Structure 1
Amino acid sequence: MAFFLLLSALFALFTYGSVLAISDRFSDASRSITSKPFKLQESWAQYSPYFPVEEYSDPPKRCRVIQANIIQRHGARYPTSGASAMIVTALSKLMSATNYTDPSLQFLKSYTYSLGTDDLVPFGARESQQAGKLHFSRYSSLVNHRQLPFVRASGSERVILSATNWTAGFSIASSHVYNPKLSVILSEDLNDTLDDSMCPNAGSSSSQTSEWLLTYGPPIADRLNKQAPGANVTSTDVYSLLSLCPFESVSFDTPSPFCNLFSNAEFRQFEYSGDLDKYYNTGYGQPLGPVQGVGYINELLARLTGKPVRDNTQTNRTLDASPITFPLNRTIYADFSHDNQMIAIYTAMGLFRQAAAPDPTLPNPRRNWLASHLVPFSARMVTEKVLCGRKEYVRVFVNDALQPLEFCGAGKDGLCELGAFVKSQAYARNNGNGDFNKCFD
């Protein structure tokens, strides 16, 4: 593990030099693709680059933040190996056409697919580094040489490298006065509160996403097949080709030509696929979704109250029992995770509840369940412990959007009394009310 951490650190240092040298081509060039009535980069669901959903709000003047608990998704990555295989299949069909009747497809005559799989891309490394800089700036009053952030990461390489990019950004922002380290890597083959791998009986979102794909995919496939005679593109291929817009854009730090193949309306349809996926995979639409976030919630409660972790679900009890691998006296905690796990944590906490489950055939334009707002690349939830006079409170932000926390009596300022917040987390404190056992029955 020590050798792997050294390699990770060296990679991170190399990345910082190259990433900092990269211009803002993606941001500059994207002005042309976001000048439409909607922001294209924010229509890519879980593949959207990070953006703040709202402007961060300071606590009331009589209050001050005394602890910050950060959980953050890894930065932008290449497609997973499974998604990559489907992309290659779709591309081979589109590129087999005898000719192209639409000018937007002409680039395919000299196109070569060159994306990797699974790994963090330089743009994603920069996202994580910028987050570290931001968090130092926002919470610098909590830091001194005896109080450095305590940092953990789930065991995927892209998650580990996101953590070390974050620590480097934190260090850079402090002029290298404060240099936090990645202290704990949680194996994804063992108990891990930062990965959704511990509920084998949990279902998937394939039924709902497939139903939606069969609703919006055929017209797009028909259009592409007319523009590329002989391609025989299917609805499944349509999703893969749409995904090339975000994947190539973040990988090459410039807008992909695939972004020009689809309309705003079609990207909105693509976005809804991600919304459905997150809701029915580890969100409220999955009976065993919220329970997968219980372990982290119980760790969060331990940090907020300064009391030992009480949990019988995903926690690694050996690590959580040690003050070295799970200290209870830090002012900043930073954990690095995956999007599906963060969705499980949101739902275990009770955030983003829906009056009605999303319809797999008809999007609600007024929905607040938007994957791009919940888990874009480098998404983060921050739970602040706030002192107001002699009373302690909790505030929760998701991508800088202050959460209402009605379930524990918060007002417009988002402040919830610490005791009320702890009490509101009965589902987690009761180990998921028996749901965790259902993962294995």
Structure 2
Amino acid sequence: MELTNMIIAPINALMATTSHKYSPLGNDEPTSASGGRDTTGQHHRNRRALKFTMAAAALLTLGYVTTLFLRGAHATTNPCDTPEDGFQCNAATTHSWGQYSPFFSVPSELDASVPAGCHLTFAQILSRHGARDPTASKTASYNASIVKIHNTVTAYGAGYEFIKDYQYTLGADQLTALGQEQMVNSGIKFYNRYKALASKSLPFVRASGQDRVVQSAQNFTQGLNQALLADRKCRAPANTTMLVIPEAAGVNNTMNHNLCTAFESGKYSTVGSTAQAAFAAVFTTPIAARLATNLPGMTFSASAVVSFMDLCPFNTVASPTGALSPFCGLFTPAEWADYDYYQTLGKWYGYGPGNPLGPTQGVGYVNELIARLTRTPVNDSTSTNSTLDGSAATFPLERALYADFSHDNDMTGVLGALGVYAATKPLSTAARQSPAETGGYAASWTVPFGARIYVEKMVCGGGGSAEEMVRVLVNDRVVPLVGCNADALGRCALGKFVDSLAFARAGGLWSQCFV
């Protein structure tokens, strides 16, 4: 796609002048063949990885008016994916696919609108990329499974007949048309929510350097500009800039975990897969028996059941029309709830609070957030890039709006470092727990395709001395802040909010990364 080449080509040219060769690395593939985290070429054994110079990142001029391939050529025509609601069709199923769920607006117990008498002074989005094809290794595995079924199965049970003629055509790693559309709609929604701030200052945009993340950032700005032009009914505004930070071994990038050895390849790298395996043994057994009955000649292990279920979300988000894949109807709503919980365990114990070093992976980003909220220099010795963060060109502090783009695993670590789910008890690996039982934590509720975390700062009342308040929304759900005397609206005073982030300000458990 031409837009991606425009972004990536300058990075490759710059990278050729440095000691680090740029190579896009996967971030959504949590495990290796041995069950641990796949970290080939991703970690650096030195406690302080080599600081990335200005030549190793690209600060790119980003024209807001671009050509974009979208389903039907319009960003808001699909009723399943609107700026207001996200992917809502077949919600009982599509909202239960863990991190493979298309974005949807999560119901909020607290009013998510700006409170009366308050006005926003700051907003930041941390977003996952839009819906994509499977990663390269998984797409090869899925294809091999379909070939094996075609070569082995002797009959197809009722409802399974479509598999006889099914041909695997999914690609690898790239955004789907739906994924592009999700990000355009995200930009529209961001503008509509923060138009008072956007009318004064366009957001400063950063993207972690994998193709689908950079494309997602571009699609987002396309949508933001579309909404801005519709609102202002005027010509396009001036260009803005996007900072792209490559995902390469040894590169300090707070939007891409890859530096902490104990987390990437040490004893904590298999915590998530171990938790998932325990629960898979609980919920996949009856499914495996049913699949074997309807696809005679095949046997299904626990992991094979999960992979077979994966074909539902990936075929759905790749559909040109957004139609629900027939693979989805092979499983009951309860089984999809179990699948969602299986994926939730992978995030919680693999990258989140359930992993001893999970939240530490998000410390650098949280310290950058503190710098932006307080307009003070970044104070961090973990994954931050001192060269980039020390420059006003690549880390401005005076903006009212910021937009960062990353992956689900990195966002999970950031949520852990923020402590917003600190009140959630360790998740059971023996029985499914609902989001109501986990304090709102679920992979589908936190890091679906197109996920977004908003951090807002606001001033309330007419007095000029009123302290700013901070609030966090995860996919439109207000998450009441913990440890800072949150008010009835889930907000904390800025000073107390920063104080509550002592774990991040102290560097988390970064010293344990290289033991």
TM-score when normalising by structure 1: 0.92
**2:452 paired with 1:380:** yes
Q: Where does structure 1 differ by over 6 angstroms across 4 or more consecutive aligned residues?
A: 6-12
Q: Is the 8 A contact 2:420 2:482 kept in 1?
A: no
Residues 246 and 139 of structure 1: is their aligned pair in 2 closer, same or farther, counting only changes over 3 Å? same
Q: Which amino acid aligns with 2:503?
A: Y
Q: Which stretch shows the higher mean deviation, 186-195 or 323-332?
A: 186-195
Alignment counterpart, residue 102 of structure 2, candidates 49, 52, 70: 49
**Cα distance between partner residues in 2 of 1:98 and 1:428:** 53
Per-residue CA deviation, residues 267-301 of structure 1 (Å, 9 max, x unaligned), is 11111111100000111111110000001100000
What is the correspondence of 1:102-121 to structure 2 with a 5 Å cutoff? 102-121=157-176
**Cα distance between partner residues in 2 of 1:65 and 1:21:** 27
**Cα distance between partner residues in 1 of 2:239 and 2:142:** 39
**Cα distance between partner residues in 2 of 1:18 and 1:182:** 29
Per-residue CA deviation, residues 61-97 of structure 1 (Å, 9 max, x unaligned), is 2211011011011011111122223322332333334
Per-residue CA deviation, residues 243-263 of structure 1 (Å, 9 max, x unaligned), is 111111011121111011111
**2:113 paired with 1:58:** yes
**Cα distance between partner residues in 1 of 2:502 and 2:8:** 40
**Cα distance between partner residues in 2 of 1:241 and 1:312:** 43
* Corresponding residue number in structure 2 for 1:201: 262
Alignment counterpart, residue 183 of structure 1, candidates 223, 242, 254: 242
Q: Quote how far apart the aligned CAs of 1:200 are.
A: 2.3
SS at match of 1:104: coil
* Corresponding residue number in structure 2 for 1:418: 494
Q: Quote how far apart the aligned CAs of 1:406 are.
A: 3.1
Q: Is the 8 A contact 1:26 1:254 kept in 2?
A: no
**Cα distance between partner residues in 2 of 1:347 and 1:115:** 33
Residues 215 and 180 of structure 1: is their aligned pair in 2 closer, same or farther, counting only changes over 3 Å? farther
Alignment counterpart, residue 231 of structure 1, candidates 295, 298, 301: 298
* Corresponding residue number in structure 2 for 1:315: 384
Q: Which amino acid aligns with 1:374?
A: T
Alignment counterpart, residue 130 of structure 2, candidates 58, 62, 75: 75
Q: Quote how far apart the aligned CAs of 1:99 are.
A: 3.4
Q: Is the 8 A contact 1:170 1:178 kept in 2?
A: no
**Cα distance between partner residues in 2 of 1:328 and 1:21:** 32
**2:419 paired with 1:364:** no
Q: Which amino acid aligns with 1:24?
A: N
**Cα distance between partner residues in 2 of 1:394 and 1:32:** 33
Per-residue CA deviation, residues 216-268 of structure 1 (Å, 9 max, x unaligned), is 22221111111111122322211111011111101112111101111112111
* Corresponding residue number in structure 1 for 2:36: none
Alignment counterpart, residue 5 of structure 1, candidates 7, 11, 17: 7
Residues 179 and 40 of structure 1: is their aligned pair in 2 closer, same or farther, counting only changes over 3 Å? farther
**Cα distance between partner residues in 2 of 1:96 and 1:334:** 48
Q: Quote how far apart the aligned CAs of 1:58 are.
A: 2.5
Q: Is the 8 A contact 1:245 1:256 kept in 2?
A: yes
**Cα distance between partner residues in 2 of 1:229 and 1:324:** 62
**Cα distance between partner residues in 2 of 1:88 and 1:226:** 21
**Cα distance between partner residues in 2 of 1:344 and 1:32:** 30
* Corresponding residue number in structure 1 for 2:513: 439
Task: Name the % identity.
Answer: 37
Alignment counterpart, residue 202 of structure 2, candidates 137, 142, 148: 148
SS at match of 1:277: helix
**Cα distance between partner residues in 1 of 2:204 and 2:151:** 52
What is the correspondence of 1:205-220 to structure 2 with a 5 Å cutoff? 205-220=272-287
**Cα distance between partner residues in 2 of 1:263 and 1:186:** 42
Alignment counterpart, residue 96 of structure 1, candidates 151, 171, 192: 151
SS at match of 2:95: helix
* Corresponding residue number in structure 1 for 2:56: none
Q: Quote how far apart the aligned CAs of 1:2 are.
A: 10
Gaps of 5+ in 2: 11-61, 230-234, 264-268
**2:93 paired with 1:40:** yes
**Cα distance between partner residues in 2 of 1:374 and 1:79:** 19
Alignment counterpart, residue 481 of structure 2, candidates 402, 405, 409: 405
Per-residue CA deviation, residues 116-158 of structure 1 (Å, 9 max, x unaligned), is 011111101111110100111111111246x211000001111
SS at match of 2:159: helix
Residues 12 and 123 of structure 1: is their aligned pair in 2 closer, same or farther, counting only changes over 3 Å? farther
RMSD: 2.5
SS at match of 2:186: helix
Q: Is the 8 A contact 2:99 2:443 kept in 1?
A: yes
Residues 259 and 94 of structure 1: is their aligned pair in 2 closer, same or farther, counting only changes over 3 Å? same
**Cα distance between partner residues in 1 of 2:469 and 2:354:** 30
* Corresponding residue number in structure 2 for 1:249: 316
Residues 3 and 25 of structure 1: is their aligned pair in 2 closer, same or farther, counting only changes over 3 Å? closer
SS at match of 1:95: helix
Per-residue CA deviation, residues 178-201 of structure 1 (Å, 9 max, x unaligned), is 466452011111111111222221
Q: Is the 8 A contact 1:171 1:179 kept in 2?
A: no
Q: Which stretch shows the higher mean deviation, 82-91 or 224-233?
A: 82-91
Per-residue CA deviation, residues 370-391 of structure 1 (Å, 9 max, x unaligned), is 1111111111111111112332
Per-residue CA deviation, residues 287-340 of structure 1 (Å, 9 max, x unaligned), is 110000001100000001110111101111100000000000001000001111
SS at match of 1:276: helix
* Corresponding residue number in structure 2 for 1:277: 346
Alignment counterpart, residue 157 of structure 1, candidates 211, 224, 234: 211
Q: Is the 8 A contact 1:150 1:180 kept in 2?
A: no
Q: Is the 8 A contact 1:67 1:142 kept in 2?
A: yes
Residues 93 and 218 of structure 1: is their aligned pair in 2 closer, same or farther, counting only changes over 3 Å? farther
**Cα distance between partner residues in 1 of 2:340 and 2:198:** 39
TM-score when normalising by structure 2: 0.79
Q: Is the 8 A contact 1:149 1:333 kept in 2?
A: yes
